[in-house]
Amino acid sequence: MRAEPARPRRAAAAPAGSARPVSSNITLSERDGVRFLHFGTIWIQGAMRIARPYALEIDYQQQMMAPLLFLPTPRRILQLGLGAAALTKFCHRHLSGAQTVAVDIDPAVVRTARRWFRLPPDDARLQVVVADAAEWLRGAGRRAGFDWLQVDLYDAAARGPVYDDVAFYRRCRAALNAPGVLAVNLFGSRFERSFAAIARAFDDRVVALPEVDEGNRVALGFCGPPLEVSFTHLAAAARELEGRYPLPVRRWVAGLRRVSEASGACAVAGSARFAM
């Protein structure tokens, strides 16, 4: 989610009465070989490099894959908010041992993702659900046993996450296995309030990666057994992951180290460690 100055062009409109009021304002733009999704404003809701449709083009979307550092072989992944389906496509292509469930309130977003952003049809490893994310968590998603949960829920105004209170993040936690990892894209002026709500829901077992993309920060929440791992181990894991995936994993470890050092929480028996 960031500002994009390119002139949008209108995509196929949703039928009257669809769930998200802005669905009729879905627009596309293209610049320098990249196709962008908008909800009728300059704010980017997703992107795809046309020559590499399964790559993650935007930095914060790459950071949303940071759960790989802690649970590298997820069996079930839940994504709330589809956008241009970048995360959905990446997980479906690169994590062949995982089932991915993506939930979005707007059928027009799903249609646009399939027509313009190469989202594949549902299969044994992919399910796209048209539903309100909070309602779905209260119903079918309640204690659903996911290893990862990736949340990127924004409307056209992009002032902050659509759902952003302690009750919602507690429902997110309830949908996770133990261990499980939450990744949330936080954008806008409400970062501190959003981060505090996640911290309350996850018993303060949270960390935020450094800001990217002019305002995006990805917060990680952890549940399950306490985690304590050396940065030497994380660096080794990052090198191995970068050999398998087109992702800047070592950059995430460096960011986590900076965050931990700034908080004074990384020194354990004279060794730099990440505790969560």
123: domain CATH number is: 3.40.50.150
State the total domains in the chain: 2
Same domain assignment for residues 118 and 168: yes
Same domain assignment for residues 90 and 185: yes
Query: Which pLDDT does position 274 carry in this prediction?
Result: 67
Same domain assignment for residues 216 and 246: no
Query: Which pLDDT does position 17 carry in this prediction?
Result: 33
246-259 tens-digit pLDDT: 999 999 999 999 98
Query: Which pLDDT does position 273 carry in this prediction?
Result: 67
Q: What pTM, to 2 d.p., does this model score? A: 0.88
Mean of pLDDT values over 45-73 = 96
Same domain assignment for residues 163 and 256: no
Same domain assignment for residues 142 and 266: no
- Asked if residue 156 has pLDDT above 70, the reply is no
- Asked if residue 270 has pLDDT above 70, the reply is no
Tell whether 51 is covered by a domain.
no
Mean of pLDDT values over 262-269 = 50
Query: Which pLDDT does position 136 carry in this prediction?
Result: 96
Same domain assignment for residues 63 and 187: yes
Same domain assignment for residues 263 and 156: no
Q: Residue 262's domain spans which residues?
A: 229-275
- Asked if residue 190 has pLDDT above 60, the reply is yes
9-23 tens-digit pLDDT: 334 333 333 333 445
Share of the chain above pLDDT 70, in %: 84
- Asked if residue 232 has pLDDT above 70, the reply is yes
- Asked if residue 235 has pLDDT above 90, the reply is yes
Out of 153-162, 217-226, 235-244, pick the least confident. 153-162
Same domain assignment for residues 218 and 234: no
Same domain assignment for residues 184 and 69: yes
Same domain assignment for residues 180 and 255: no
Same domain assignment for residues 234 and 138: no
Query: Which pLDDT does position 260 carry in this prediction?
Result: 84
Same domain assignment for residues 70 and 139: yes
Query: Which pLDDT does position 95 carry in this prediction?
Result: 98
Query: Which pLDDT does position 13 carry in this prediction?
Result: 33
Confidence of residue 206 (pLDDT cuts 50, 70, 90): very high
112-141 tens-digit pLDDT: 999 999 999 999 999 999 999 999 999 988
In three state form, how does the secondary structure of the chain look? CCECCCCCEECCCCCCCCCCHHHHHCEEEEECCEEEEECCCCEEEEEEECCECCCCCCHHHHHCCHHHHCCCCCCEEEEECCCCCHHHHHHHHHCCCCEEEEEECCHHHHHHHHHHCCCCCCECCEEEEECCHHHHHHCCCCCCCEEEEEECCCCCCCCCCCCCCHHHHHHHHHCEEEEEEEEEEEECCCHHHHHHHHHHHCCCCEEECCCECCCEEEEEEEECCCCEEEHHHHHHHHHHHHHHCCCCHHHHHHHHHHHHHHHCCCEECCEEEEEC
Query: Which pLDDT does position 9 carry in this prediction?
Result: 38
Residue at which a domain ends, from 200, 225, 250: 225
- Asked if residue 34 has pLDDT above 60, the reply is yes
